[in-house]
Amino acid sequence: MAVTVETLEKLERKIVLTLPTSVIATEVDARLKKLARTIKMDGFRPGKVPMNVVAQRYGYSVHYEVMNDKVGEAFAVAANEAKLRVAGQPKISENETAPEGSMAFDAVFEVFPEVKIADLTTAEVEKLTAEVSDPAIDKTLDILRKQRRTFAQRAIDAPAQDGDRVTVDFEGKIDGEVFPGGKAEAYQFIVGDGQMLKEFEEATRGMKSGESKTFPLAFPAEYHGKDVAGKTADFMLTIKKIEAAHLPEVNDALAKSLGIADASVAGLRADIKKNLDREVKARLLARNKQAVMDALVAKAELDLPNASVQAEVERMIAGARADLKQRGIKDADNTPIPDDIFRPQAERRVRLGLVVAELVRANALHAKSEQVSSHIEELAASYEKPMDVIRWYGSDKNRMAEVEAIVIENNVTDFVLSKAKVTEKATSFDELMAQN
Kindly report the CATH number assigned to the domain that includes residue 93: 3.30.70.1050
pLDDT at position 187:
96
The phi and psi torsions of 323 (rounded to 5 degrees) equal: -65, -40
Please check whether residues 179 and 86 belong to one and the same domain.
Answer: no
Please give the angle made by the CA atoms of 327, 328 and 332, to the nearest 5 degrees: 95
Beta carbons within 8 Å of 129's beta carbon, 6+ residues apart: 284, 424, 425, 426, 427
Please check whether residues 270 and 402 belong to one and the same domain.
Answer: yes
**Segments in the chain below pLDDT 70:** 1-2, 436
Domain final position from 190, 215, 246: 246
pLDDT at position 436:
64
Residue 293 belongs to a domain: yes
What CATH number did the domain enclosing 213 receive?
3.10.50.40
pTM (2 d.p.): 0.73
What CATH number did the domain enclosing 277 receive?
1.10.3120
Domain final position from 216, 246, 276: 246
Over the stretch 239-292, which tens digit does the pLDDT of each residue have? 999 999 999 999 999 999 988 888 899 999 999 999 999 999 999 999 999 999
Residue 349 belongs to a domain: yes
Please check whether residues 262 and 404 belong to one and the same domain.
Answer: yes
Residue 141 belongs to a domain: no
Please check whether residues 275 and 213 belong to one and the same domain.
Answer: no
Number of domains in the chain: 3
The CA distance from 364 to 357, in Å, is 10
Residue 269 belongs to a domain: yes
Given a contact cutoff of 8 angstroms between Cβ atoms, the answer to whether 110 and 305 are in contact is: yes
Please check whether residues 301 and 420 belong to one and the same domain.
Answer: yes
The CA distance from 287 to 435, in Å, is 9
Residue 145 belongs to a domain: no
Please check whether residues 236 and 162 belong to one and the same domain.
Answer: yes
Max CA separation in the chain (angstroms) = 103
Please check whether residues 370 and 427 belong to one and the same domain.
Answer: yes
CA atoms within 13 A on the CB side of 293: 19
Helix (H, G, I), strand (E, B) or coil at 27: helix
pLDDT at position 200:
95
Please check whether residues 271 and 363 belong to one and the same domain.
Answer: yes
Please check whether residues 201 and 277 belong to one and the same domain.
Answer: no
User: 417 lies in which domain range?
Assistant: 255-434
Centroid of chain to Cα 400: 17
pLDDT at position 328:
81
Residue 235 belongs to a domain: yes
Domain final position from 194, 216, 246: 246
Please check whether residues 101 and 24 belong to one and the same domain.
Answer: yes
Residue 56 belongs to a domain: yes
Residue 127 belongs to a domain: no
> Which amino acid, residue 55?
A
Using CB atoms within 10 A of its CB, is residue 34 exposed (0-12), middle (13-18) or buried (19+)?
exposed
Do the bridges between strand 232-246 and strand 300-301 make them parallel or antiparallel, or are there none, so unpaired?
unpaired
Please check whether residues 34 and 73 belong to one and the same domain.
Answer: yes
pLDDT at position 134:
93
The CA distance from 71 to 89, in Å, is 12
Q: To the nearest 10°, the Cα dihedral for 228, 233, 237, 242?
A: 50
Please check whether residues 98 and 205 belong to one and the same domain.
Answer: no
